[in-house]
Amino acid sequence: MSQVRVLLVDDQALFREALATLLATHDAIEVVGEAGNGDEAIRQAAALTPDVVLMDLRMPVLDGVAATRRLRTDHPGIGIIALTTFDDEEDVFAALRAGALGYLLKDVSSAQLIEAVLAAARGESVLQPSVAAKVVAQFVRLPSTGAPEPQPLVVPLSDRELDVLRLLATGNSNREIATTLHLAEGTVKNHVTNVLSKLNARDRTQAALRARSLGLL
């Protein structure tokens, strides 16, 4: 398997250096370049053709949202993850509307960050649980625009799987779901796998949104 080529975009040089050092510890990831603002990111992406861009949002010259929008237009195959300190709704939805595949905070663990980079390279969305909860909450608040697109479940969710679905939709981790439902964490993991399979969803966020469209939430 070829390495995932990553471009780091952040206006703090020390943070970029630390991030590059961290990602270099994983054999499947290669940091191919760095940029200090959105304008540099656009030029670097054109020259380096990365698979994934880790994008800060609040930067001088050109911010991360504008840069994300431009990169998604010019290089739609690049997976962009917003990596920022801020998780207010305005930033979250601006980044996602611009085309970011994911949204992570800078206090994310190294293991979570590495997994997010690999997931983005596969075209999967990657949202921190607190951010996923905001996305689902916003979706739930939207008024109905008519009959949902028909997506009947071939195999219906069990009552316990529905319980798990409701909790994962609000951003709970497997451990938190296990505690709430008084189940073993391994059992919850199996339920989550079944929920994703039955909803034909690639991740927890997509499962929550699809369940909402089906009237399951």
CATH code at position 16: 3.40.50.2300
**Measured CA distances, 45 to 70, 121, 145, 198, 208 (Å):** 11, 15, 38, 37, 32
Looking at the fold, whether 9 and 112 belong to one and the same domain comes out as yes
| pLDDT single digits (tens) 105-142 | 999 999 989 999 998 898 887 887 777 666 666 655 55
pTM (2 decimals)?
Answer: 0.65
d(Cα 122, Cα 217) in Å, to the nearest integer? 28
d(Cα 115, Cα 177) in Å, to the nearest integer? 21
Looking at the fold, whether 35 and 110 belong to one and the same domain comes out as yes
3-state helix, strand, coil in the chain (%, to 5): 50, 15, 35
pLDDT band, residue 149 (cuts 50/70/90) = very low
Provide the CATH number for the domain around residue 194: 1.10.10.10
Inside any domain, residue 39:
yes
Q: What is the percentage of the chain residues whose pLDDT exceeds 70? A: 88
pLDDT given for residue 136 in this prediction: 61
pLDDT given for residue 151 in this prediction: 39
Q: Which domain holds residue 114?
A: 4-127
Q: How many domains does the chain have?
A: 2
| pLDDT single digits (tens) 22-81 | 999 999 999 999 999 999 999 999 999 999 999 999 999 999 999 999 998 899 889 999
| pLDDT single digits (tens) 153-199 | 666 788 888 899 989 888 888 899 999 999 898 999 999 988 888 88
